[in-house]
């Protein structure tokens, strides 16, 4: 199984959308909604350009670690939820696999809401699932944080917080213009075997579970390989991309796995979407409570009233401890649904 590359546009914003291959299933992971380095605009462009028969979101869809510290939501996120809702209306099954950054979805109370989310929004939430390909092969779909050692699992959240604090304040300058310091790159440089160990652990899990292959994410390092007769696929990520490319894994109607590449969103200054640079951090000023209130909240809107409800559910799950900008979107036509509000209220206590 050799990784095939989808047609690559040079500038997605300016050129007509490329035609992606028809796909039976699309696997994307590590969207990290709530993290400023998430390039959801590029993801939206790709999702609009393809028509998967089944969509798998393979973990870390929401960056709860960031959201619970400071609520951050953009129009691109709203558009993404609208796209998911439109897929649901076209009866495309959506499976959301939980990851370590949205681990709250694995807790007891959110688990109780899974049937409601499935029934109302068409999104099935699971820790892992088995996808059956057109050739009848079983693919284990799992985020992959389960393969981390206990020590790394405990340390990664602290490392993430320290790293986020430093980068968002622009305290760590990029080593040279146009190239940011990357935790992943540093890990790869310092410990090239870390990723290999992750892949080996994934393969062992696939063998253990009697699967013919495994699709995962978590490390943000895209892989499509065949090991010991089994498919091993890492979807990559939709955060700041090395080389300006995001990736996804697709299953063709014939049951073959392919890696899709999609360019990251070019910014007006030519850079790719990224966390705050030093200058931007300075412009935004200190993140005190008063500063948050002084900023005009961006006006967000969604097309589908269900999208607004779903986003309120996400807000209820990761309601930040500090009061801040609570920019929740309004549906284009906004029928306030009192019954939904009542249904969502219990999760606030979670």
- Binding residues for Mn ion, total number by CB under 5 A: 5
Q: Residues 69, 180, 198, 218: which binds Mn ion (CB under 5 A)?
A: 218
**Strand arrangement of the beta sheet that strand 128-132 belongs to:** 128-132, 138-142, 213-216, 230-234, 223-227
- Of 114 and 184, the one with the shorter C-beta distance to Mn ion is 184
Residues 258-297, interacting with Mn ion (CB under 5 A): none
Residues 50-89, interacting with Mn ion (CB under 5 A): 60
In SS3 terms, the chain reads as: CCCCCCCCCCCCCCCCCCCCCCCCEEEECCCCECCCCECHHHHHHHHHHCCCCCEEEECCCECHHHHCCCCCCCHHHHHHHHHHHHHHHCCCCEEEECCCCCHHHHCHHHHHCHHHHHHHHCEEEECEEEEECCCCCEEEEECCHHHCCHHHHHHHHHHHHHHHHHHHCCCCCCCECCECCCHHHHHHHHCCHHHHHHHHHHHHHHHHCCCCEEEECCCCCCEEEEECCEEEEECCCCECCHHHEEEEEEECCCCCEEEEEEECCECCCCCECCCCCHHHHHHHCCCCHHHHHHCCCCCCEECCHHHHHHHHHHHHHCCCCCCCCCCCCEECCCCCCHHHHHHHHHHHCC
Contacts of 191 (CB under 8 A, 6+ apart): none
- Of 64 and 305, the one with the shorter C-beta distance to Mn ion is 64
How far apart are CB 30 and Mn ion at their closest, in Å? Answer: 6
How far apart are CB 32 and Mn ion at their closest, in Å? Answer: 9
Write each residue from 4 to 43 as x if it is in contact with Mn ion (CB under 5 A), else as -, in one continuous string. ----------------------------------------
How far apart are CB 183 and Mn ion at their closest, in Å? Answer: 12
- Of 32 and 36, the one with the shorter C-beta distance to Mn ion is 32
How far apart are CB 59 and Mn ion at their closest, in Å? Answer: 6
How far apart are CB 298 and Mn ion at their closest, in Å? Answer: 27
Site stretch for Mn ion (CB under 5 A), options 1-9, 91-99, 254-262, 268-276: 91-99
Site stretch for Mn ion (CB under 5 A), options 40-48, 95-103, 242-250, 314-322: 95-103
How far apart are CB 212 and Mn ion at their closest, in Å? Answer: 24
- Of 87 and 147, the one with the shorter C-beta distance to Mn ion is 147
Residues 128-157, interacting with Mn ion (CB under 5 A): 145
Q: Residues 99, 110, 164, 213: which binds Mn ion (CB under 5 A)?
A: 99
How far apart are CB 236 and Mn ion at their closest, in Å? Answer: 12
How far apart are CB 45 and Mn ion at their closest, in Å? Answer: 23
Site stretch for Mn ion (CB under 5 A), options 149-157, 166-174, 210-218, 295-303: 210-218
Q: Residues 29, 74, 95, 100: which binds Mn ion (CB under 5 A)?
A: 100
- Binding residues (CB under 5 A) for Mn ion: these are 60, 99-100, 145, 218
């Amino acid at each position: 199984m050799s990784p095939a590359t989808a047609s690559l546009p040079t500038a997605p914003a300016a050129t007509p959308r490329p035609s992606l291959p028809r796909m039976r299933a699309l696997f994307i992971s590590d969207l990290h909604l709530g993290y400023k380095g998430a390039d959801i605009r590029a993801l939206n462009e790709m999702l609009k350009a393809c028509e998967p028969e089944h969509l798998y979101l393979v973990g870390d869809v929401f960056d709860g670690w960031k959201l619970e510290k400071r609520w951050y939501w953009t129009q691109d996120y709203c558009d993404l939820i609208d796209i998911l809702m439109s897929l649901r209306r076209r009866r495309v099954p959506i499976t959301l696999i939980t990851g370590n950054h949205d681990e709250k979805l694995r807790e007891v109370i959110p688990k109780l809401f899974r049937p409601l989310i499935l029934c109302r929004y068409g999104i099935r939430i699971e820790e892992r699932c088995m996808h059956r390909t057109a050739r009848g092969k079983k693919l284990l779909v799992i985020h992959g944080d389960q393969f981390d050692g206990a020590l790394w699992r405990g340390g990664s959240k602290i490392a993430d917080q320290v790293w986020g604090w430093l980068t968002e304040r622009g305290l760590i300058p990029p080593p040279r213009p146009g190239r940011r310091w990357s935790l992943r790159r540093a890990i790869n440089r310092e410990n090239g075997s870390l990723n290999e160990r992750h892949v080996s652990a994934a393969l062992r899990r696939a063998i253990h579970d009697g699967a013919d292959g495994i699709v995962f994410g978590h490390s943000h390092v895209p892989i499509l390989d065949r090991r010991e007769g089994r498919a091993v696929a890492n979807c990559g990520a939709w955060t700041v991309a090395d080389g300006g490319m995001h990736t996804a894994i697709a299953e063709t109607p014939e049951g073959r796995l392919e890696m899709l590449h999609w360019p990251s969103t070019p910014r007006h200054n030519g850079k790719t979407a990224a966390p705050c640079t030093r200058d931007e951090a300075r412009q935004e000023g200190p993140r005190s409570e008063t500063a948050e209130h002084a900023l005009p909240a961006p006006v967000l809107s969604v097309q589908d009233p269900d999208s607004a409800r779903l986003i309120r559910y996400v807000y209820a799950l990761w309601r930040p401890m500090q009061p801040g900008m609570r920019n929740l979107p309004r549906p284009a036509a906004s029928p306030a649904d009192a019954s939904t509000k009542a249904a969502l209220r219990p999760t606030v206590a979670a």
